[in-house]
Amino acid sequence: MINKIIIINILIIFSSFVFGEQITQKFDAEKIKKININTSKGKVVLSSVTDKISLVITDKIKVSKECQIIVELQDNVLNAKTQSRGGDCEVNFNIAVPANVKLDVNIGSGDLEISYVHGNIHFKIGKGDVVINNPGHKVNGKIGSGTIKINYKMLPEKGVLDISSGRGETSVTLPEGSKITSNLKVGLGSIQNEIGEFENASFKINIKSGWGDIKITKIKL
């Protein structure tokens, strides 16, 4: 009798969660001008798409009945967000986006990957790692704890990269021959700038780190 009660209790607990379910939604890419993402926990991957369809793949990693997932297109803004009143709500978003779309990403805990999106990028993350490949002329981000890697294959002629990090290494890779001005500050850690300073450069890099190295390195393409 005791064993039956234990089994029933386990079934009740697991029935209140969803594991591993995946949902795919399609949107008209030409109608998307901005993407807002807001999630408490989970990984977000954004990559540019050249066709007319934007795909949003939602992976429910660990979701309780209190977790609400909203993915909708309203007034040229694609919203992907989670809401929960105390239950588990771990969701991964993988989104194919138009290359020139604006991004606003907020993650409580989770990693962020962005590739070949040239619109303005803004992100705010409590804890997690960030990788951004070949962004456009404006990136603004804030992270509590985690590493940041930003890689430019081609540096825009004019723009700004503005990063604030509480704890973790921040690295920026630029093509050899790039011209920048920079303002780099670290509380505890080292600063490395292989590119150097160019007073009249139109691309500015501002990085502030409480604890963690700051590295600007050059690569040959």
The rounded distance, in Å, linking the Cα atoms of 153 and 157 is: 13
CA count, 13 A, side-chain hemisphere, 215 = 15
Q: What angle do CA 148, 152, 154 make, to 5 degrees?
A: 170
pLDDT at 30: 94
Q: What are phi and psi of 2, to 5 degrees?
A: -65, -40
pLDDT at 20: 67
**Residue 131 is encoded by which pair of tokens?**
């990788």
pLDDT at 2: 39
- Sequence-ordered alpha helix ranges (H) in 65-200: none
Please provide the DSSP assignment of 23-92 as one string: EEEEEEGGG--EEEEEEEES-EEEEEE-SSEEEEEEEEEEEETT-EEEEEEETTEEEEEEE-SSS-EEEE
pLDDT at 35: 98
Q: Report which DSSP code applies to 114.
A: E
pLDDT at 220: 84
Question: Which CA distances in Å does 219 have to 24, 29, 151, 177?
Answer: 38, 33, 10, 9
Per-residue pLDDT of the chain (221 residues; tens, 9 = 90+): 434 333 333 233 333 445 569 999 999 999 999 999 999 999 999 999 888 999 999 999 999 989 999 999 999 999 999 998 888 999 999 999 999 999 999 999 999 999 999 999 999 999 999 999 999 999 999 999 999 999 999 999 899 999 999 999 999 999 999 999 999 999 999 999 999 999 899 999 999 999 999 999 999 87
Shortest CA distance to 45 belongs to which of 153, 141, 147, 132? 132
Max Cα-Cα span within the chain = 80
Contact 44, 105 (CB under 8 A): yes
pLDDT at 75: 96
